[in-house]
Amino acid sequence: MSAGGFIGVWEYEIPLRQRDLDSLGHVTGAAHMDLVVEARSEWLVGVLNEPDPSFIVVRQVLEFHRELRFEARRVVVGLKATRMGAASFDVAETISSEGGLHTSSAATLVRWDRDLRQSKPLTSAERIRMTAYLHSD
């Protein structure tokens, strides 16, 4: 299953759940958001080798390309970093199934200091690990 045309990206498979559906049998917009957030969280844990990395989302955009129904049973969320800043970075995500691309997403995340309640710079080690997933279009 392709991650919607992304090449060399991180992928995460997620089974669809009954609670993801609306009365029309579609996966809801909120569930699409949950799917990208779940995958992104797993990506951050793995890339940063940290059990609960602290980031906040400052921008999130979803674009729906085709309906996603429960019959798909599972989806693959593809993720790639597209920009790295001092304390923030952008990611592009896709939600795909055997039926093709359903959703594309773009988000900006900021590294967060839980104690000071403010942004903090990405460390050199974090930048090195995240750069492996950095793609520019």
The pLDDT assigned to 73 comes to 95
Note the pTM of the prediction, 2 decimals. 0.89
5 within domain boundaries: no
Q: What is the CATH number of the domain that holds 47?
A: 3.10.129.10
Range of the domain at 104: 10-131
51 within domain boundaries: yes
pLDDT in tens, 2-32: 344 444 589 999 999 999 999 999 999 999 9
The pLDDT assigned to 11 comes to 95
Q: How many CB atoms lie within 10 A of CB 136?
A: 7
Percent of the chain whose pLDDT exceeds 90: 80
Do the Cβ atoms of 39 and 79 come closer than 8 Å?
yes
Bridge partners (DSSP) listed for residue 58 = none
Q: Give whole-number Cα distances, 19 to 15, 23, 52, 73, in Å.
A: 12, 11, 25, 13
Name the band, by pLDDT with cuts 50, 70 and 90, for residue 1.
very low
Q: Give whole-number Cα distances, 44 to 24, 96, 120, 132, in Å.
A: 33, 20, 16, 13
